Each structure stands twice: as C-alpha cells, then as structure tokens.
Amino acid sequence: MNISQSKSPGANTPITKILSWFGTALGQLFISVLIPAITFLVLWQGYLFLQRAAAPQIVQVLVAIVWGVGGVALLYVVTNWLVMKLPKKIARTLQPFVFVGPAVVIMGWFLAVPVIRSLIASFKNYLGTEWVGLENFKFAFTDPRMLETFRNNLLWLVFGTFFSVAFGLLIATLADRSKAEVLYKSIIFTPYALSFVGAGVIWKFIYTYKGTGIGIREIGLLNAVVTALGGTPQPWLNLTPWNNFFLIVIMVWLQTGYAMVILSSAIKGVPAELLEAARIDGANEFKIFFSIIVPYIKGTLLTVTTTIIIFSLKTFDVVRVMTGGNNGTNVIANEFYLQSFTYNHAGRASAIAIVLLLLVTPVIINNVRSFNQQRRGF
C-alpha cells in the first residue's frame, strides 16, 4: 500500500487525467477556442433555424426571443471570460473595450459609416455607377419639390413643436394641481402609444370627404360638424396649404403626451417651499408659473423642445399614410423615401439625407456643447 496512491485514488482514471490536462496552458488554450466555438455554433444554429422559418410561427417567435436576448448576454459573458484568461495587465487594458466595444461597433456600422457612405453616394448617379459632382445637391436645393418640402418641414418644426410643448406644459402644470392627475395624464398620453399608421386611420376618419351632390352624406367627423353648423363640406386634406396644418394637428395630438410626461416629472422636482414662499408673498399663479416654475425646469424644457424639433424634421409616417405627400404636403423624409424606393434614384436620395443631416447640425453642436459642460462638472 502506497500512501501517495491512497491520497489521490482517482489520479489515474481517464476522467481526472483529462480534467487535469485542462489545467495546463495547452488545455487552457483548447478551452479558450472550444467554448467560443460552441457558443458560435449554438448561435449559428439558432440563426439558421430562424432563417429557414419552417416551424410554426409561435415556436419561431419564442426561439427568436430567447436566441436574440440570450445570445447577446452569452457573447458578453464569453468575451469577458476570455479576456480575463489573459495576463492581468493586458486584461485590464482590454476589459473596457469588452464593455463599450459592441456598442461602438454597432453605432459605427449603423450610423457613423452610413453618414459617410451617403455622402459618397450623393455625388453619384441614380444607379451609383458614375460621378456626377454636385448635380444631386443642385436638385436637393433648387427643385420645386424640395423647396416645397423645406417650407412644409419649417411649418412642422415651428407649429408642431410649439403647440406640442405648449400643450404639454399646460397640461403638466394643471394636472399637477388636480386630484385626478393620473387619469388626465393617461388620456393625454394615449395617442403616444398609437402607431402613426393607426393614428392615420383615426384621422382619415375625421378628415374624410365624400364630395358634394344630391344624396351624398358625409361620414367624416369634421365635415359632419361643419355641415351641422351650416357650412359646406371640404376636402380637408386637399386644401393647399392649409392641409399641412391639418396634418400638424395630428403630430400635436401625438407628441403632447410625450412632452407632458417629461415636463410633469420636472415640475414635480420644483421644491414645494419655493412655491409656498411665493404664494405667501402674494404672487399669483401666472407669476409663479413664469418666474419660478419655467426657469426651474428650463433644462428639461430645452431637452423636450430639442427632441420634438428633431422629430418634426424627420417626420414621415403621418404624411405618407395621410396624403402620400400629394397636394403640397410633401416633407423631406417622404421625398427621400420616394427617391430612394419608388424612383430608385440613390444619388438624389443620399443628397436629401445629407441635407436632412445638415438641418439638424445645429442641434448636434448644441448637444455636444452641453455634454462637454456636463463632463467638466464631474
């Protein structure tokens, strides 16, 4: 009987041998290759499964959800595990990139690179085969269709943003003083939960026009109201340029809820003592609103306004669903869509996209500046 043998009874069994081999450097390398390989294989199989789309829809959807969410989590775990296998010093330098890397790569792919690629494509012809210089930009800045979209986007930007924010602020302020706050806010927010397409259905139903003549009866709400008041029905969506405002009403109806929710949370942050003190001093509610509340929430107000300005510049769905851009309601994003997918003019489409980017540049600059100020604060 050998003591050393009895101490490790299983030392010679194949399993322990394999296990101990994994402890060696070679074994570590093997695992480092094997585990990512397995991960990759699992993800690849899932991808193929979804690609084939042979299973019942519900199974596919479940697999899609598990595969998508689980896959991303797994990738992080495996990459981090791999990095931690490396010598400590290298690991410490590499680890931050495990955290920020995927985000940076994806944003680069989906946003940064496309900006550059669009810029290049905007100097080429409609098939992207020949250089045409500034031809497409000449179109983007001088074509009457484009000028029409600029005018309309300006209307959207000014009126859409103003009324969304004004209504949002009004409701947020008033609701703050009411017992039924949650109810009011939920009602105003409801349209925000609706897709533009769904909103389009609703508003088509309001603006619909059947024509004039014997025995024709309006089924659209607005025309019914107008007729009841003794007016004549109108084809609201064809009335240039007023139809733009009828479309902007839809945007206000949708976006007010967003402005309200955010402004409401900011108003709740105004210290109660400040308001009380002002009231005791005899200030009326209007004065309190403009001299205390508004200055206090200025930052949030700016954020909300910025977001809605960007939204109004990018507006697309409402116009596409309601009028298709006809009758003087075209907007930049819709013209982009038409050029790109209906007329197949890649060059012009890219030029329009670049113009859109130029239009939001002031907002970018503002954003970067306020971010840098913020960083200095730390």
Partner 1 sequence: MRSKKHFIWASIAILLVASLVLAACATTAEAPAAEAPAGETVAALPQGQELANAYAGQYKGKVVTMAGPFTDQDEVVFNDSIKGFEEKTGIDIQYEGSKEFEANINIRLDGGDRPDIVDYPQPGLLRYAVEKGYAIDMNTLINPDWIKTNYSDAWQSLAKMTGPNGEIVAGIWARANGKSFVFYPKAAFDAAGYKVPTTWDEMMALTQQIADDGDTPWCIGIESGAATGWTMTDWIEDVMLRVTGGEKYDQWVAGELKFDSPEMNEALDYIEAIWFNDAYVYGGRAAIPTINFGDAPKPMFENPPKCWFNRQGNFVTTFFPEESVAGVDYSFFYLPGIKEEYGSPVLGAGDIYAVFNDRPEVRAVIQYFSTGESLKVWVESGGAILTHNDASLDWYVDPVTRGVAETIRNATTFRFDGSDMMPGAVGAGTFWKYMTDYVSGSITREEALKQIDASWPK
Partner 2 sequence: MATSLKSHKASQSFWTNFVLIAICVLWMIPILGILITSFRPSEDIFRNGWWNVFPHKEDLEVSRVIIPESVDVDGPITLSGKTATFQEWQRGVQLEDGTKGTWYGNKRTRTIVISENKWVGFATNLTIQNYMDVLTGKTISYKNAQGQTITRTGNNLGGAFLNSLAVTIPGTIIPILIAAFAAFGFAWLDFPGRNIIFTIIVALLVVPLQIALVPILQDYVKLELNGTFLGIWLAHTGFGLPLATYLLFNYISTIPRELLESAYIDGASNFTIFTDLILPLSVPALASFAIFQFLWLWNDYLVALVFLGEKNQTVTIAVAQLVGEKGQDWHLMTSAAFISMILPLIVFLGLQRYFVRGLMAGSVKG
Residue 326 site contact among partner 1, partner 2, none (CB < 5 to 8 Å, cut-off depends on kind): partner 1
Residue 218 site contact among partner 2, partner 1, none (CB < 5 to 8 Å, cut-off depends on kind): partner 2
180 binds partner 2 (CB under 8 A): yes
124 binds partner 1 (CB under 8 A): no
Give residue for tokens 């400040």.
274
DSSP 351-366: HHHHHHHHHHHHHHHH
Give the one residue of 29, 41, 115, 134 binding partner 2; rule: CB under 8 A: 115
C-alpha 46/C-alpha 63 separation (Å) is 8
Where does residue 264 rank: exposed (0-12), middle (13-18), buried (19+ CB within 10 A)?
Answer: buried
207 touches 236 (CB < 8 A): yes
Q: How far is the CB of 368 from partner 2 (least distance, A)?
A: 6
128 touches 340 (CB < 8 A): no
134 binds partner 2 (CB under 8 A): no
36 binds partner 1 (CB under 8 A): no
- Only one of the segments 24-32, 130-138, 172-180, 232-240 lies at the binding site for partner 2 (rule: CB under 8 A); that segment is 172-180
Give the one residue of 96, 133, 215, 282 binding partner 1; rule: CB under 8 A: 215
345 binds partner 1 (CB under 8 A): yes
Which residues within the stretch 138-167 sit at the binding site for partner 1 (CB under 8 A)?
143-145
Instruction: Give the residue with the Cβ less far from partner 2, 121 or 155.
Output: 121
Instruction: Give the residue with the Cβ less far from partner 2, 155 or 313.
Output: 313
Where does residue 91 rank: exposed (0-12), middle (13-18), buried (19+ CB within 10 A)?
Answer: middle
DSSP 124-190: B-TTS-SB-TTHHHHHHHH-HHHHHHHHHHHHIIIIIHHHHHHHHHHHHHHHHT-TTHHHHHHHHHG
Give the one residue of 164, 333, 338, 348 binding partner 2; rule: CB under 8 A: 333
Give the one residue of 27, 32, 35, 63 binding partner 1; rule: CB under 8 A: 63
For the CA atoms of 137, 138, 141, 146, the dihedral, rounded to the nearest 10 degrees, stands at -90
Instruction: Give the residue with the Cβ less far from partner 2, 64 or 158.
Output: 64
290 binds partner 1 (CB under 8 A): no
Q: How far is the CB of 211 from partner 1 (least distance, A)?
A: 2
Convert residues 206-245 into a mask of x (bound to partner 2 by CB under 8 A) and - (unbound): x-------x--xxxxx--x---------------------
Neighbouring C-alpha atoms within 13 Å toward the C-beta of 99: 7
- Only one of the segments 12-20, 250-258, 333-341, 359-367 lies at the binding site for partner 1 (rule: CB under 8 A); that segment is 333-341
Residue 124: phi and psi, rounded to 5, are -115, 170
C-alpha 347/C-alpha 137 separation (Å) is 9
246 binds partner 1 (CB under 8 A): no
C-alpha 348/C-alpha 135 separation (Å) is 9
For the CA atoms of 250, 255, 261, 263, the dihedral, rounded to the nearest 10 degrees, stands at -120
Interface ranges with partner 1 (CB under 8 A): 42, 45-46, 48-49, 52, 54-55, 59, 63, 66-67, 70-71, 73-74, 77, 126-127, 143-145, 208-216, 234-235, 237-240, 320, 324-328, 338-339, 341-345
